[in-house]
Structure 1
Amino acid sequence: MSVLAEPIVANPKALLGRLNPVTKLAAATIVMVGLLFTGDAVTPALVLAAELAAVSAAGVRWRVFLRRLWLLILLTGGLAASTLLFTDRQGGAPLLDAGPFLVTTESALAALAISLRILAIALPGVVVFASTDPTELADALVQHLRTPPRFTFGALAAWRLVPVLGDEWRTLMLARRARGIDPGRSPLRRVRLFASGVFALLVCAIRRAIRLATAMESRGFTGEHGRTLARPQPLRAADGVFFLATVAVMVGATAFSLGLGTWRFLFW
């Protein structure tokens, strides 16, 4: 919960921190679409290098940022290992032959390609949320993409309450311990205590959500006609430059791979 309690891990005054949230979402979408059906390793490698440069430009606090990426890195490593051992691309020189497991240069290249592609697709989304204030993101979505204010600001409120639920869970467990409710070494009692704690937390969350919904309804978060925004998120020239630069990186990486003769469609 400590990571969620600190949603921004980038410097708000850095280049990416000053961009409109919609621009950053559009750039991440361009990268995802461009790499979705790319099966080579060169294109995502070039895009990933540009993304790492963008992370540096965002003024990211790397320790917190890497804490957010550990699960992605773990899943990518597992997928790379399964691709390395079980892919049908077994051409090239053999690198490892251990019974049913055969690793060749082609299978190693396939594992590398899928690892780079996943990281290059996922990293922009992580950077967007690491460099964007959730309130500014909600305001930009309502202003520029015309998303329903009731849903958008409701999701924002739910996100803001995630750290609160973590604090309530710790308070609930400490209160039970103070009253002498301890499962001891019994696994069954631990499961029962955990289930009852989840139920109590769910009741608290529902009550808090009802009060919050009533408060937001009374303050006009319903999307009625004529409602204005307290925090407008304008699109500036820098947003257009950044979006065009993203398109240029995606097109340039694909063209470079085509020039080398390494680009391939994912399902070929």
Structure 2
Amino acid sequence: MISSINPTVKAGTVLIPGVLLGLMFDIFTPLVYLIFIILVTFIFTDISLKRYLLIFTPFVIFVLSFAWARMLYTSETFQGGSVLFEFWHFEVTTGAVQVAISLALRSLCFIALSLLFILTTDSTKFMLSLMQQLKVSPKITYGVLAGYRFLPTFKHELEILRQAHRIRGVGRAKGIKGRIQQFRRYSIPLLANAIRKAERVANAMESKGFTGDRNRTHYHEMKVRKRDWVFFGSMVGTFFLVVFMSYYLGYLNIFGRDIN
């Protein structure tokens, strides 16, 4: 299962194809790799289809609107080919359509790779892996982890503040000025509570001997195993295989230049 892969290796596995896909302007390469990512997601993870679609669908709508705008405002470099149709004063060519579709598919690949990482990675293990494999300072990783853990408590405290204001007869603000005053009423108590919590966490960490030193032992050791490299090689290797297939079939296009 992908959830058991070392988070640092998984992040590198997602990052490399994600960056290289930004160079591909053809349709074939991102389309085939997108299908591969989705197959890997549902075969090697326990993510439910309903949950995945609830997260993925809003991004699809955004990507389609972005691709439509890109098709209408394509630069002269990518406006080659015959004119397919006219929309108001815009002439849409085959080159513009290809660039728009390619952009949409690349964006969907980025989203699919990101979801593969986010939905299968535990935040605590990711921070531990950054400390142990990449030697990131514990001050940074524990600070990020503590802030992430505080988010649910802030949401709960905000709801308590709203209920307290309703009990005291303070209704929902109307207008820009009222919203600014309401923001101040909420932000000051939340900020004060955040400072208190930060001080308590800092005192607790110091009392337990936390100094921020990189040379420290860990109760949970994150190791890079053979299966991690198999996952890395499979994902990255498949990407380069798709690029080779695209080149062999004559589809490969890098920055608007056909490579064949």
Q: For 2:74 and 2:85, locate their aligned partners in 1 and report how far apart those are by CA, in whole Å.
A: 14
The one-letter code sitting in structure 2 at the alignment partner of 1:130 is L
Instruction: Give me the whole-angstrom Cα distance separating, in 2, the residues matched to 1:201 and 1:66.
Output: 34
1:34 to 17, 20, 23: 20
Distance 1:55 1:225, change over 3 A: closer
CA drift at 1:216? 2.3
Q: CA deviation at 1:71?
A: 5.1
Q: Shift of residue 77 of structure 1?
A: 2.3
CA distance in 2, matches of 1:227, 1:45: 45
Using the alignment, how far apart are the partners of 2:197 and 2:205 within structure 1? Answer: 12
Q: Identity of paired residues, percent?
A: 29
**Match of residue 147 from structure 1:** 136
Correspondence for 1:78: 65
2:179 to 174, 190, 195: 190
The unaligned stretches of length 5 or more in structure 1 are 1-14
Q: How does 1:40-79 map to 2 (within 5 A)?
A: 40-56=26-42, 57-69=44-56, 72-79=59-66
Q: Using the TM superposition, give the Cα deviation of residue 185 of structure 1 relative to its aligned residue in structure 2, in angstroms.
A: 4.7
Measure the CA separation in 2 of the matches of 1:69 and 1:195. 35
How many residues of Structure 1 are paired with residues of Structure 2 in the alignment?
254
CA spacing shift, 1:135–1:85, aligned 2, 3 Å: same
- SS of the aligned residue for 1:32 comes to helix
The alpha-carbon deviation at position 218 of structure 1 amounts to 2.6
| Pair 1:130–1:222, CA change in 2 (3 A) | farther
TM-score calculated relative to the size of structure 2: 0.89
Contact 2:18–2:110 (Cα < 8 Å) also in 1: yes
| Pick aligned residue for 2:219 from 217, 226, 230 | 230
3-state DSSP class of the match of 1:150? helix
Distance 1:222 1:45 in 2: 49
- Please identify, of 50-59 and 198-207, the stretch whose mean Cα deviation from structure 2 is larger: 198-207
Are the equivalent residues in 1 in contact too, given 2:137–2:214 (CA < 8 A)?
no
One-letter amino acid of the structure 2 residue matched with residue 60 of structure 1: I
> Shift of the alpha carbon at 1:210?
2.2
TM-score under structure 1 length normalisation = 0.86
Which residue identity is paired with 1:45?
A: L
Query: Which residue of 2 is the match for residue 7 of structure 1?
Result: none
Q: Which runs of no fewer than 5 residues in structure 2 stay unpaired? A: none
**Cα offsets for 1:57-86 (capped at 9, x unmatched):** 211133333444455334322320111111
Rate the CA distance shift 1:186–1:107 in 2: closer, same or farther, 3 A: closer
Using the alignment, how far apart are the partners of 1:150 and 1:247 within structure 2?
A: 32
- Separation (CA, whole Å) in 2 of partners of 1:222 and 1:61: 42
Rate the CA distance shift 1:266–1:206 in 2: closer, same or farther, 3 A: farther
The secondary structure found in structure 1 opposite 2:253 is: coil
CA distance in 1, matches of 2:211, 2:59: 36
Is the deviation greater in 46-55 or in 85-94?
85-94
Q: Which residue of 2 aligns with 1:131?
A: 120
Map of 1:172-251 to 2, 5 A cutoff? 172-183=161-172, 185-224=174-213, 226-251=215-240
Once residues 213 and 61 of structure 1 are traced to their aligned partners in structure 2, the CA distance between those partners, rounded to angstroms, is 39
**Contact persistence 1:51–1:124 (CA under 8 A):** yes
Partners of 2:150 and 2:63 in 1: CA distance: 30
CA displacement, residues 104-145 of structure 1 (integer Å, 9 cap, x when unaligned): 222111101011112212322222121011111111111111
Please name the residue that 1:90 is paired with: 79
The amino acid of 1:59's aligned partner reads D
CA distance in 1: counterparts of 2:189 and 2:53, whole angstroms: 33
- Larger deviation: 169-178 or 98-107? 98-107
